[in-house]
Amino acid sequence: SDKYHALAQKYLPEGTAGVISFSIKGGRARAAKFIDSLKMISLEVHVADIHSCILHPATATHRQLSDEQLVACGITPGLVRLSVGLEHVDDILDDLKQAFAAIAQ
């Protein structure tokens, strides 16, 4: 029912990837708190594992860039990259929900 389903079928006929990126409002500190609040999903420098893992590009893979260079590359201070693993979807969602709740306080 997703509005982009037809485009995904057209451009990704073999299926879509399990890596998504999203930005946490509040910048680096709030993104770090979100990542630290995860219990099952682990912080990794790479995002290619059978287990769910998360990456903060601004402080990991792109840490050598200035804030201005990061923005020019499309990397916001709160950007995180999630690689979805083989765990049960409910377990992944529960971990994400409790981490979002932790930063909402």
Q: Which pTM value belongs to this model?
A: 0.79
Q: In what order do the strands lie in the sheet with 19-23?
A: 19-23, 79-83, 53-55, 42-43
- pLDDT at 16 exceeding the cut of 80: no
Q: Where in the chain are the domains?
A: 17-104
Q: What is the CATH number of domain 17-104?
A: 3.90.1150.10
Q: 19-74 pLDDT, tens per residue?
A: 889 999 998 899 999 999 999 999 987 766 789 999 998 887 888 888 889 889 88
